Amino acid sequence: MRNNQGTINLLKLSITATLLTLLLSGCLYPQTDSSPTDVVSKEAIRNVQAAVDQYLAEKSVLPIHNSDSTVDRYEKFRVNFDLLKKESYVEHLPSSSFEGGGNFYYLILNEETDPVVKAQNIYLTQKVIDLQRKVDDYKSQHGNLPMTDKLYDGFYGIDYKALNMKTPEVHSPYSGSIAQLMLSESGTVYIDYASDIYQAMLANPELEISEEQDLRALLIEKSDYVPVKGAVYRLLNNEPVPIER
């Protein structure tokens, strides 16, 4: 039965990936839930990357805002544009940046080895935060979580009817398709990136993936966007599956 279920899950992921017509790409415009023109340009990423590299080379420290250990690594180190602009490392703020009036935080990943600039969709983040608040309120009032069917071990669908709301449309920053939201047994809301990760695996069959690797890293290899509000994913029976942090 377990093998049959695994085969079914694998088939679902394969079909989803086949239907997607766009491969992971840094120049892919994400179909966000705010505006079709709300994107981060490659030029903006390059300019901020150059400024960060120069700042690091001259000051031996990264221009980032402080963050505590509880923040997920894909939301953790925001670029400090105040520092970059004050000391003339950038002349203008990117229009897509939060500081420039846009809908994205610019982040730094691989901060200890090879710092790289990526973008976090704020609107997408806020939609999950808003849903998390509703889930927390429901649990406080009813003593249980608004769960539906089991999606993975430890993860379930969300009962939007119980929350008195419509199913929110959250679009993947990688494929542009509607992404599934899920609820962990601890009550945390996540965006499900399994299909996007599986697509990345299909596009890069030569990759050697260990069972301990966080598969979210595959999503940022060829994209400028981070997998915001996603669980850690591991490889299990050749499938990407989420695990609770």
pLDDT attached to residue 155: 98
Residue at 34 is within a domain: no
Residues 99 and 134 in one domain: no
Last residue of a domain, one of 54, 84, 119: 119
Last residue of a domain, one of 102, 119, 136: 119
Each residue's pLDDT tens digit, 75-105: 999 999 999 999 999 999 999 999 999 999 9
Rounded CA gap, 201 and 215, in Å? 9
Residue at 194 is within a domain: yes
Instruction: Output the six-digit token pair for 66.
Output: 């402080």
For 235, the enclosing helix (H) or strand (E) is strand 232-236
Residues 177 and 145 in one domain: yes
Pick from 36, 35, 119: nearest CA to 75: 119
Residue at 181 is within a domain: yes
Residue at 89 is within a domain: yes
Distances (CA, A) of 145 to 128, 139, 189: 16, 5, 11
Residues 7 and 111 in one domain: no
Instruction: Output the six-digit token pair for 133.
Output: 């608040």
Range of the domain at 87: 42-119
**Overall average pLDDT of the 39-58 stretch:** 96
Rounded CA gap, 245 and 232, in Å? 7
Residue at 107 is within a domain: yes
Last residue of a domain, one of 74, 104, 119: 119
Residues 104 and 180 in one domain: no
Rounded CA gap, 36 and 140, in Å? 37
CB-based contact 120:109 (threshold 8 Å): no
Judged against a pLDDT cut of 50, whether residue 19 lies above it is answered with no
Residue at 141 is within a domain: yes
Residues 47 and 143 in one domain: no
List the beta bridge partners of residue 236: 239
> Any idea which of 10-14, 81-85, 214-218 has the lowest mean pLDDT?
10-14
Apex CA 80: angle with CA 76 and CA 81, to 5°? 140
